[in-house]
Amino acid sequence: MKILGLYNYWIVIGLMMIGFYTMISRGNLVKKLVGLSVFQTSVMILYISMGKILGGTAPILIEGRENVVYTNPIPSVLILTAIVVGVATLAVGLALVVRIKEAYGTIEEDEIHEQDDVM
């Protein structure tokens, strides 16, 4: 139970590290943003999986029934906000990449550095 039962956390950690590694190791600006996106998604999965209660039902109030176990709705609500934030971040990031492409002619990080160092 101990290790296999925590499978949601293992998935989160795995995704988080994949995302983080992508951000650091890839020189292409769009790939970095993809890595950031995967990284943020892993955190969302963390929240959602935290909210789930085994054997709990959807958190819609059932009239007249006592002692019903509901899944916690709050993490899902929080993640809705975080998803929006993630989308906005991605949008701003991609817009920046477009402008960088216009200004530098490339979106590879090392080529951009070369152009800047020459200046």
For binding to another protein (CB under 8 A), which residues are involved? Answer: 20, 23, 29, 32-33, 36, 39-40, 43, 46-47, 50, 74-75, 78, 81-82, 85, 88-89, 92-93, 96-97, 99-100, 103-104, 112, 116
Among 35, 42, 34, CA closest to 9 = 42
User: What 3-state class would DSSP assign to 119?
Assistant: coil
- 48 is written with which tokens? 């959602």
For another protein, the closer CB: 2 or 64: 2
For another protein, the closer CB: 18 or 64: 18
Residues 6+ apart with CB under 8 A from 30: 94, 97, 107
For another protein, the closer CB: 68 or 88: 88
Q: How far is CA 111 from the centre of its chain?
A: 28
Q: How far apart are CA 47 and CA 84, in angstroms?
A: 15
Least distance to another protein, CB of residue 25, Å = 13
Least distance to another protein, CB of residue 72, Å = 8
For another protein, the closer CB: 62 or 103: 103
**Partner residues linked to 108 by β-bridges:** 28
Least distance to another protein, CB of residue 88, Å = 6
